[in-house]
Amino acid sequence: MSEKLRLLLVEDDDLDIEILPRLLDESDMAPFDCAHCGNLTTAERELEGNKFDVILLDLNLPDSSGLETVERVRCKGPGTPIVVLTGHDDVKIGIEAIKKGAQDFLLKGDLDARLLTHAIRYAMGRKEVEMERDKLVEELQSKLEKIKVLKGLIPVCSWCRKVRNDAGFWNQFEDYVTDNSEAEISHGICPNCEKKVRSEPHR
Q: Which amino acid type is present at position 200?
A: E
Given a cut of 70, whether residue 2 has pLDDT beyond it is: no
* DSSP letter (8 states) at residue 2: -
Percent of the chain with pLDDT over 70: 93
For residue 113, the SS3 value is helix
Residue with more model confidence, 166 or 126:
126
Residue 7: CB atoms within 10 A of its CB come to: 20
Given a cut of 80, whether residue 95 has pLDDT beyond it is: yes
Whether residue 78 contacts residue 70, with contact meaning beta carbons closer than 8 Å, is answered with no
pLDDT (tens digit, 9 = 90+) per residue, 152-186? 788 888 788 888 888 888 988 888 888 877 777 77
The whole-model pTM stands at 0.69
For residue 175, the SS3 value is helix
Residue with more model confidence, 197 or 185:
185
Mean pLDDT, rounded, for 45-70? 94
Q: What are phi and psi of 188, to 5 degrees?
A: -155, -165
- Its sign, for the CA torsion 52, 54, 59, 61, is negative
Please state, rounded to an integer, the average pLDDT across all residues of the chain.
Answer: 86
Residue 104: CB atoms within 10 A of its CB come to: 22
Domains in the chain and their CATH numbers? 5-143 (3.40.50.2300), 148-203 (no CATH)
Given a cut of 60, whether residue 1 has pLDDT beyond it is: no
- Its sign, for the CA torsion 42, 48, 54, 59, is positive
Given a cut of 90, whether residue 36 has pLDDT beyond it is: yes
Return d(Cα 80, Cα 88) in angstroms, integer.
25
Return d(Cα 55, Cα 8) in angstroms, integer.
5
Alpha helices, DSSP H, located in the chain: 14-26, 40-49, 67-76, 91-99, 113-146, 173-180, 191-199
Q: What are phi and psi of 24, to 5 degrees?
A: -65, -35
